Amino acid sequence: MAATGASIFPANLSLVFCLDATSSSVRKSKPKQISFSQLPRRFAISTEQPPNTATKKTSCFSGSGRLEKREEAEPVTATMSEDPAMERGSWRDYFERSKELLSKLDGGPPRWFTPLECGPPMTNSPLLLFLPGITGDGLGLIKQHQRLGKIFEVWCLHIPVVDRTPFTEMVKIVERTVRSENYRSPNRPIYLVGESFGGCLSLAVAALNPDIDLVLILANPATSFSRSHLQPLIPLLDIMPDKLPHMLSSMNVHLGDPLRMMIKTVVKGLPFQQKLGELSQDLAAISSYLSILADIIPRETLRWKLQMLKSASAVSNSLLHNVKALTLIITSGKDQLLPSQEEGKRLFFELSECEIRKFNNSGHFIFLEDGIDLVTIIKAAGFYRRGKHIDYVSDYMQPTPTEFEKVYDENKWINVVSGPVMISTLEDGKIVRGLAGIPSEGPVLLVGNHMLLGLKLIPLVTKIFLERNILVRGMAHPSMFVRDKQGAYPDLSKYDSYRLMGALPVSATNFYKLMSSNSHALLYPGGIREALHRKGEEYKLFWPEQAEFVRMAARFGAKIIPFGAVGEDDMGEVVFDYDDLMKIPYFKGEIERTTNGAVKLRTDANGEVANQDLHLPGILPKFPGRFYFYFGKPIETEERMQELRDRDKSHELYLEVKSEITRCIAYLMEKRENDPYRNLLSRLIYQATHDFTSKVPTFEP
């Protein structure tokens, strides 16, 4: 991560131009927005910078262009409970706003603007600078504005149609803004979201400012321009007609697949007529907008933009070696303008800190498509932070209903196949089916046994969230958060659902923060050794000798809930384990290479638990059975704080928790023999004869 550095520009100097470009003058007073009658509604153009989010009032423009005051909402909390599905615009919104902006702000130099629907963001939110693609209107995030505006201070770059600023000068414009804002707020990161051409611009600025804390999010970056379908068009422009629709047709621009999105929505249960009406409006808007573009972007403008893309690609590629910023590349599988997915792979190896997220069914203008939510992508990738370093507790935001629904749907198969049974213990010791025994108020520490490969994690966390509205933060192995360019680890995108649901790297610091924030935490003391056990070691605990969690839990008076989980042997059988793999030179070398590249845990431990070698055992699948979870009676520590400071006393409680987990496992293994629906086939028959949403019976607790 690039360190934050000082800037030579004054703190209050920011390159945000007004219509007449009068002013980059330095003022010591707080900058104000200026009102112009010809401004489009919904946009705020500032002479210096968008409104300071710390103020209680902000300026906005009414439909008449008058400068008005509106009361800001209270600072947005980190829960992000708003449903993004309720906040998204349409293609028609984009086209109407583009027409309005391009027709009334088509002169002057490039300038920054903040859409009024953005904000106010959370306190200390990072700055997000959106750098547009070839159209240059700065509206490429229009469907994302409301969501982004809650967690970022959003500035969008508008490049007028008639502007002919060279790429190198464009870099300087963005660079000066980055430096001045870094000087003004040196402890917050600056996000550069670059789309297509904006991706090249982002890379060039990052390369020239390695001392500034930047985070790059690049959507289909145009660094691949020399290999695109656009490159051959440059010499053909002289013989092509002036009207742009013919040009767009020849380029086969892919704006996404509205019909596919409509079908997907109908499958989810939304009214067909409602979605069909929205689709018709969008298609009509697309047709109308193409005719408008023919008048707004003539041949000479398109020629200039393509030449700019060529220059931008060449310059940014020559500077890749100097880019130190953390980078997230978003690529589309149906990008008809650029070979984006191939370029994403290339950049992954060229850049020192880079991650990729692929969207195989999306087109070039990915942020304008339904189903694409940039905030969700950033959260799931673990890219959101408000300080120099990510804080996995204070920077985390709970999943919205739509985000949770997506996680649940994507992992529905494991819930269907495993048919999880949840049993808990009330405070009076009564065992009941369901999760009523889990306390609603934290801090709470759930401690259990790892089943093979940790397959029970998604059913466990999603069931608790769905039934009790309790988010359990799972402390996971650091390999879920650290990339490996050699491919030894799984693609980090495989763990996006876990991160979205609150997973964080296991560490004493993160454990402390969870307990101090009254969270519900999930801990598996057996770690890797237990999750990747050998043949015949099902449900065997591999715990360290020392009490790792008791004293920390007692420090905050947390309730400890021991639980057991069984069912892995109903899903598969280990036939080729660690011991077998280590006998084969090739696999032995791969295991050693993978383990050496991973973050080391329990370096001071002894015995079997110290074996943290990362490997994938050979598993023979079985006809699916069922998962069972049994949560024991909560163990209170609040009244024993002083007592548990003693190492011997805390060790006694540690052994008590371990013994209770063993008892829970034994209880489940005995009781499941009386479950008439332990087999997948019997559960499917029951649901087919009743209701597929009904709860399948099990044994009596």
The residues with which 115 forms a beta bridge, in sequence order, are: 43
Q: What is the pLDDT of residue 479?
A: 84
Using 50, 70 and 90 to split pLDDT, how confident is the model at 241? Answer: low
CATH number at residue 220: 3.40.50.1820
User: Is 80 exceeded by the pLDDT of residue 460?
Assistant: yes
**pLDDT tens digits along 565-605:** 999 999 999 999 999 999 999 999 988 888 887 777 777 77
Do 196 and 52 fall within a single domain?
Answer: yes
Residue 15 covered by a domain: no
User: Is 80 exceeded by the pLDDT of residue 85?
Assistant: no
Residue 202 covered by a domain: yes
Do 298 and 424 fall within a single domain?
Answer: no
Dig out the tokens for 366 from the structure.
């990915």
Flag the least confident range among 89-93, 168-172, 315-319. 89-93
Last residue of a domain, one of 333, 348, 380: 380
Do 367 and 446 fall within a single domain?
Answer: no
Rounded mean pLDDT of 434-441? 96
Residue 389 covered by a domain: no
Q: What is the pLDDT of residue 301?
A: 74
Do 290 and 426 fall within a single domain?
Answer: no
Report DSSP letters for 498-519, one per residue: HHHTT-EE--HHHHHHHHHTT-
Over pLDDT 90: what percentage of the chain?
57
Do 320 and 438 fall within a single domain?
Answer: no
Using 50, 70 and 90 to split pLDDT, how confident is the model at 40? Answer: very low
CA torsion through residues 114, 133, 395, 78, sign: positive
Q: What is the pLDDT of residue 88?
A: 58
Using 50, 70 and 90 to split pLDDT, how confident is the model at 240? Answer: low
Q: Give CA 445 to chain center in angstroms.
A: 25
Rounded mean pLDDT of 507-532? 95
Residue 32 covered by a domain: no
* Helices 197-208 and 299-318, axial angle in degrees (round to 10): 40
Rounded mean pLDDT of 344-348? 95
Rounded mean pLDDT of 307-320? 94
Q: What is the pLDDT of residue 62?
A: 28
Query: Average pLDDT of the chain?
Result: 80
Size of the chain in residues: 701
Phi, psi of 472 (to 5 degrees): -95, 120
Q: How many domains does the chain have?
A: 2
User: Is 50 exceeded by the pLDDT of residue 429?
Assistant: yes
Do 250 and 337 fall within a single domain?
Answer: yes
Q: What is the pLDDT of residue 304?
A: 84
CATH number at residue 521: 3.40.1130
Dig out the tokens for 673 from the structure.
């023999």
Q: What is the β-pairing status of strands 67-71 and 444-448?
A: unpaired
Do 166 and 250 fall within a single domain?
Answer: yes
Whole domain around residue 313: which residue ranges? 43-74+82-380
Dig out the tokens for 627 from the structure.
């998962």
pTM listed for this prediction: 0.84
3-state SS, 207-244, equals HHCCCCCEEEEEECCHHHHHHCCCHHHHHHCCCCCCCH
Rounded mean pLDDT of 234-256? 49
Q: What is the pLDDT of residue 238?
A: 59
Do 322 and 230 fall within a single domain?
Answer: yes
Last residue of a domain, one of 349, 380, 411: 380
Q: What is the pLDDT of residue 421?
A: 96
**pLDDT tens digits along 592-639:** 888 887 777 777 777 778 778 888 899 999 999 999 999 999 999 998
Do 104 and 193 fall within a single domain?
Answer: yes
**pLDDT tens digits along 652-698:** 999 999 999 999 999 999 999 999 999 999 999 999 898 777 889 99
Q: What is the pLDDT of residue 484?
A: 63
Residue 370 covered by a domain: yes
Rounded mean pLDDT of 519-526? 96
State how far the Cα of 573 lies from the Cα of 281, in Å rounded to an integer: 54
Do 445 and 355 fall within a single domain?
Answer: no
Residue 480 covered by a domain: yes
Rounded mean pLDDT of 102-123? 82
Rounded mean pLDDT of 301-315? 88
Residue 174 covered by a domain: yes
Q: What is the pLDDT of residue 46?
A: 43
**pLDDT tens digits along 47-70:** 334 434 333 333 332 232 222 333
Region of 303 on the Ramachandran plot (φ > 0 left; ψ -120 to 50 alpha; else beta): alpha
Do 489 and 445 fall within a single domain?
Answer: yes
Flag the least confident range among 286-290, 445-449, 508-512. 286-290
Residue 550 covered by a domain: yes
Do 452 and 374 fall within a single domain?
Answer: no
